[in-house]
C-alpha cells in the first residue's frame, strides 16, 4: 500500500524478491491546469510490473478489508500511503503490516518527517521499518538506517536518497521476519515528536531570523510548497539557499532583514537577523525561474531591494 514516488523503490524491490499479490494505492486525482485525472506513481509502477491494482476511495468500509484478506497475502506493506488504516485492515494479514517511515523513530512521527528534519536543521535522519499499530507511527521497530543530511541538501534531494535506503531496509526486514532472526523492539519513551503535513503558507520565509534557520527553512520546503517572499509588491519564489559568512567593517550599520546585500554568480546575498543567506535562483510571478545574477541583469532585482514575509504564495 502506497502512493507517491517515495514508495516506488520499495514496490520494485519487494516485487523482485517476493510475490506481490495486490497493490493498493489512492484513487487517480485531477492534476495540472486542465484537471485531467493522473494516476499515483505507485499505480504506474504496478502497471509497468504487471501487478493488479486496487484503488478504494476509503479504507474503512468492511469490503476493503475483505478484499485484502481474500488475497491470501501473509504480510501487508505500507509506504507513504497517506491515510490512517483501521484496525480491521491491519488484522487482514496473518503477519500484520509493516511500514517504511522516513525518520529515526520516535522522532518525526506523522506525514512529513523528511521535510521537518530539514526544516529543523537536523544533522542526521534515516528510515525506520516498523510494525503498524493503531497509533500514529507508534509501532514496534524492526530496523533503522541512519544517514547524514547534507549541509545544502533540500527535502526533495533527501527524499531521493531515503527512498532506495528504505527499499533496501524493507527487503532486509522481510527476510529477517521470514527467517525468524528479526525481533521487534518498542520505540524509546523519550524523543517523540510530530511532523505535521505542510501547507502552502509554510513556504513563507521570514528573514528576521538567524541565517541558519532561514536557510534550513528554504531547503525544507523545497520542492513543496516552495519558499517565497514579497518584493516590490509581488511574490517571488526562492530556490537554493545556504548560509554565507560576511565580514562586517567596524561601524557598519546593520541592514534590515531581507535586504539584498550583494548579487554575484553564487546568487543573491540576503541579510537575516544574524548573518546572511545566498539564494541561488528566484522566480517572479508570471516569469520563469532564473539565476539571481540574470535577474539583476534584467533589472528585476538590485542591491538594496528588500524581501519581506508574505502571507500567501
List, for residues 148-205, the tens digit of each pLDDT value. Answer: 999 999 999 999 999 999 999 999 999 999 999 999 999 998 999 999 999 999 999 9
Residues 144 and 41 occupy one common structural domain: yes
Report the pLDDT value the prediction gives residue 82, as an integer from 0 to 100: 83
Number of domains in the chain: 2
Residue 310 is assigned to a structural domain of this protein: no
User: Does residue 300 surpass a pLDDT of 60?
Assistant: yes
User: Does residue 32 surpass a pLDDT of 90?
Assistant: no
Range of the domain at 287: 200-297
Residue 210 is assigned to a structural domain of this protein: yes
Residues 124 and 189 occupy one common structural domain: yes
Residue 88 is assigned to a structural domain of this protein: yes
Average pLDDT over residues 20-30: 95
Q: Is the pTM of this model over 0.85?
A: yes
Residues 209 and 180 occupy one common structural domain: no
Residue 114 is assigned to a structural domain of this protein: yes
Residues 234 and 177 occupy one common structural domain: no
Residues 23 and 87 occupy one common structural domain: yes
Single residue among 143, 165, 195 that ends a domain in this structure: 195
List, for residues 144-155, the tens digit of each pLDDT value. Answer: 999 999 999 999
CATH number at residue 81: 3.40.50.170
Residue 80 is assigned to a structural domain of this protein: yes
Using DSSP, state whether 193 is helix, strand or coil. Answer: coil
In terms of Cα–Cα distance, which of 18, 59, 21, 23 is closest to 42? 23
Residues 209 and 239 occupy one common structural domain: yes
Residue 16 is assigned to a structural domain of this protein: yes
Q: Where are the alpha helices (H) located in the chain, listed in sequence order?
A: 8-17, 41-49, 62-70, 87-90, 113-119, 155-179, 211-220, 292-297
Residues 186 and 221 occupy one common structural domain: no
Residues 171 and 276 occupy one common structural domain: no
What burial letters (b/e) apply to 232-271, b meaning 16+ CB within 10 Å?
eeebbbbbbbbbbeeeeeeeeeebebbbbeebeebbbbbb
Residue 309 is assigned to a structural domain of this protein: no
Single residue among 195, 214, 245 that ends a domain in this structure: 195
Single residue among 161, 179, 195 that ends a domain in this structure: 195
Residues 245 and 287 occupy one common structural domain: yes
Residues 184 and 250 occupy one common structural domain: no
Residues 218 and 237 occupy one common structural domain: yes
Residues 154 and 204 occupy one common structural domain: no
Q: How confident is the model at residue 122 (pLDDT cuts 50, 70, 90)?
A: very high
Amino acid at each position: 500500500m502506497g502512493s507517491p514516488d517515495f514508495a516506488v523503490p520499495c514496490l520494485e524491490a519487494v516485487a523482485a524478491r517476493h510475490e506481490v499479490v495486490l497493490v493498493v494505492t489512492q484513487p487517480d486525482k485531477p492534476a495540472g491546469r486542465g484537471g485531467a485525472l493522473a494516476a499515483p506513481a505507485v499505480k504506474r509502477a504496478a502497471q509497468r510490473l504487471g501487478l493488479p491494482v486496487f484503488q478504494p476511495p476509503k479504507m474503512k468500509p468492511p469490503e476493503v478489508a475483505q478484499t485484502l484478506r481474500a488475497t491470501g497475502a501473509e504480510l501487508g506493506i505500507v509506504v507513504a500511503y497517506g491515510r490512517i488504516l483501521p484496525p480491521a485492515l491491519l488484522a487482514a494479514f496473518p503477519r500484520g503490516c509493516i511500514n517504511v517511515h522516513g525518520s529515526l523513530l520516535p522522532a518525526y512521527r506523522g506525514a512529513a518527517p523528511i521535510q521537518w528534519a530539514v526544516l529543523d536543521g537536523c544533522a542526521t535522519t534515516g528510515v525506520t521499518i516498523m510494525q503498524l499499530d493503531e497509533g500514529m507511527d507508534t509501532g514496534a521497530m524492526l530496523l533503522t538506517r541512519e544517514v547524514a543530511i547534507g549541509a545544502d541538501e533540500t527535502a526533495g534531494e533527501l527524499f531521493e536518497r531515503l527512498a532506495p535506503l528504505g527499499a533496501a531496509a524493507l527487503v532486509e526486514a522481510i527476510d529477517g521476519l521470514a527467517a525468524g532472526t528479526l525481533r521487534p523492539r518498542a520505540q524509546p519513551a523519550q524523543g517523540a515528536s510530530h511532523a505535521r503535513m505542510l501547507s502552502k503558507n509554510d513556504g513563507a520565509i521570514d528573514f528576521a531570523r538567524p541565517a541558519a534557520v532561514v536557510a534550513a527553512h528554504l531547503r525544507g520546503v523545497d520542492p513543496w510548497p516552495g519558499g517565497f517572499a514579497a518584493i516590490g509588491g509581488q511574490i517571488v519564489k526562492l530556490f537554493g539557499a545556504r548560509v554565507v559568512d560576511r565580514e562586517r567593517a567596524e561601524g557598519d550599520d546593520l541592514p534590515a532583514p531581507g535586504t539584498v546585500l550583494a548579487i554575484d554568480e553564487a546568487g543573491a546575498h540576503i541579510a537575516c537577523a544574524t548573518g546572511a543567506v545566498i539564494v541561488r535562483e528566484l522566480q517572479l510571478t508570471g516569469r520563469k525561474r532564473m539565476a539571481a545574477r540574470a535577474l539583476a541583469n534584467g533589472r528585476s532585482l538590485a542591491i538594496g531591494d528588500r524581501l519581506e514575509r508574505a502571507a500567501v504564495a
